[in-house]
Structure 1
């Protein structure tokens, strides 16, 4: 099997265990929490996305990793992580917290969708070995990030519906 095929299998199967774990353990808990608490839990996970800057460190990735991929992934993760941290720091101020929750989720989804797009356009599977130490990020971490963004948007919509119903 070629490295590109293995990488694509890893990408696809990376979602399966996270979805199973999320459905069994995380989702029931998030749904039972107050909306702000659930969003804080999700923001806590995403606050670690500053780690995406590792794509810019020579030696952590190979010299032939497409620069367009590495830069977009690194700075998109960094921006998402900073917005998530700001949301956590300002959780006591709902007028600021909620827009930051929306912002880090929008920026995060755009980042991940852009990473997938760049990965296809720049043939990332064909250069998977250039990911070096960062190989685990798209395989293990990105699926959980995307799943939690979807959950965050669902929880935001649910909270909004409840507000409208109460009014």
Structure 2
């Protein structure tokens, strides 16, 4: 099987597996939490994104991993992890917490989308073996990160919609 097909299959199956897991175990639990606790749980997961720095370590990844891909992806993950940690550290200062929640979700989503773009431009699927031990990041870890970003945005939008309903009802 060609490397591109193995990599793309792994990536797609990573999303499928996480969506199944998320639907069965994580989403039912998140729905029982208030918005603050749900966002705090999501921020906790994203605070571990510093792990993405591993793709700039020689010996962990192959020497032929495109230079246009690895540093951008690694430092985007680091920035997102720091923003998520700042959200967690500012939990007692709610306006600051919400600012960091939005910031890490926007930064993290943009990072993943740009990483996908750079991976396609660098033809990463055809040289996926160059990821070495870091191969697990895009096929196992990135799908749950993207899914939780989508859920975080959904919860934020839903809370705004729910909060505005009483105001709309009074105006009518």
> What is the aligned residue count?
167
Distance in 2 of aligned mates of 1:89 and 1:163:
26
1:12 equivalent in structure 2:
12
Shift of 1:165: 2.2
Q: Cα RMSD (Å) of the superposition?
A: 0.8
1:75 equivalent in structure 2:
75
Distance in 2 of aligned mates of 1:7 and 1:162:
41
2:91 equivalent in structure 1:
91
Distance in 2 of aligned mates of 1:120 and 1:128:
11
Q: Secondary structure at the match of 1:60?
A: coil
Q: Secondary structure at the match of 2:63?
A: coil
Distance in 2 of aligned mates of 1:31 and 1:90:
23
1:110 equivalent in structure 2:
110
1:156 equivalent in structure 2:
156
Q: Secondary structure at the match of 1:157?
A: helix
Shift of 1:119: 0.8
Instruction: Map residues 117-136 of structure 1 onto 2, 5 A cutoff.
Output: 117-136=117-136
Shift of 1:27: 0.6
| TM score, norm. by length of structure 1 | 0.97
Shift of 1:160: 1.2
Work out which of the two has the higher radius of gyration on C-alpha atoms and give 1 or 2. 2
Distance in 2 of aligned mates of 1:145 and 1:58:
25
